[in-house]
Chain A
Amino acid sequence: MAFARASFEWLAPSLAHARPKPWRRQRARIFAIGLAPALVVLAVITIGPTLYLLVTSLTPASPVHPKSLTDFGDPLGNYRAMIGDGEFLNSLWVQAKLSVVTVVAQLAVGLGVALLLNAPSRFLEAVRTAFMLPMVLPPIVVAVIWKILFTPDISPLHHALAAAGMPVHSLIANPDLALWAIVVADTWEWFPFTMLMVLAALQMVPSEPIEAGRIDGAGPFALFRYILFPYIRPTLVVAALFRLIDSIKAFPLIYVLTNGGPGTATEVTNYYAFVEAFNFSYWGYGAAIATLMVTGVLLLSWLVDRLNPEEALDE
Chain B
Amino acid sequence: MSSTRLLRHGSVCILLAVALLPALWMLQLSFRAGGNIFDMRFVFTPSLANYRSLWSGLFPGSLGHSAVVSLGATALSLVIGTPAAYALSRWRFRSRRPIALWILASRMAPPVAYTIPFFLAYRFVGLIDTLAGLIIIYLTFNLALVVWMMRNFFDGVPPALEEAAWIDGCGVWAAFRLIAVPLAAPGLAATGVLCFILSWNDFFYALILTRTQAMTAPVAIVNFMQYQGWEWGKIAAGGTLVMLPVVAFSVLVRRYLVSGLTAGGVKE
Contacts and interface: CB of A to CB of B under 8 A. Distances in A.
Interface of A: 13-17, 23, 26-28, 30-35, 37-39, 41-42, 45-46, 48-50, 52-53, 56, 61, 69, 113, 116-117, 119, 121, 123-124, 127, 129-141, 144-149, 153-154, 156, 159, 188, 192-193, 196-197, 200-201, 235, 238-239, 242, 245, 248-249, 251-252, 255-256, 270, 273-274, 277-278, 283, 286-287, 290-291, 293-294, 297-298, 300-302, 304-305, 308, 310-311, 314
Q: Which 3 A-B pairs have the closest CB atoms?
A: A14-B169, A38-B84, A34-B83
30 contacts: A13-B169, A26-B172, A27-B172, A31-B90, A31-B172, A38-B81, A38-B83, A38-B143, A39-B84, A45-B137, A46-B140, A52-B120, A69-B120, A127-B12, A131-B16, A132-B257, A134-B19, A137-B246, A138-B243, A139-B203, A141-B218, A147-B225, A249-B110, A251-B111, A270-B110, A273-B112, A274-B112, A290-B112, A308-B265, A308-B267
Contact of A277 (B37, B112, B144): B112
A310 to B, nearest CB: 4
Interface string B1-17: 00001001101100110
A122 B100 CA distance: 38
Interface of B: 5, 8-9, 11-12, 15-16, 18-20, 22-23, 25-26, 29, 37-38, 40, 80-81, 83-84, 86-88, 90-91, 93, 99, 101-106, 108-121, 136-137, 139-140, 143-144, 147, 166-169, 171-173, 176, 197, 200-201, 203-204, 207-208, 218, 221-222, 225, 232, 235-236, 239, 242-243, 246-247, 250-251, 254, 257-258, 261-262, 264-267
Contacts of A308: 264-265, 267
A30 B232 CA distance: 56
Q: Is the interface of A mostly helix, strand, loop or mixed?
A: helix
A56 B243 CA distance: 37
B120 A148 contact: no
Given A35-B87, A49-B117, A116-B8, 14 more contacts: A38-B83, A41-B80, A42-B103, A45-B143, A129-B257, A132-B261, A135-B261, A137-B246, A141-B243, A196-B266, A197-B266, A256-B225, A277-B119, A283-B119
A32 B87 contact: yes
Contact of A314 (B26, B254, B267): B267
Nearest to A57: B116
A132 B262 CA distance: 12
B40 A159 contact: yes
B267 A294 contact: no
A14 B167 CA distance: 6
A242 B243 contact: no
B112 A15 contact: no
A56 B116 contact: yes
Contacts of B16: 127, 130-131
A130 B257 CA distance: 12
A136 B257 contact: yes
Given A188-B19, A251-B203, A149 B87 contact: no
Contacts of A34: 83-84, 86-87, 176
Contact of A290 (B29, B83, B110): B110
A305 B103 CA distance: 12
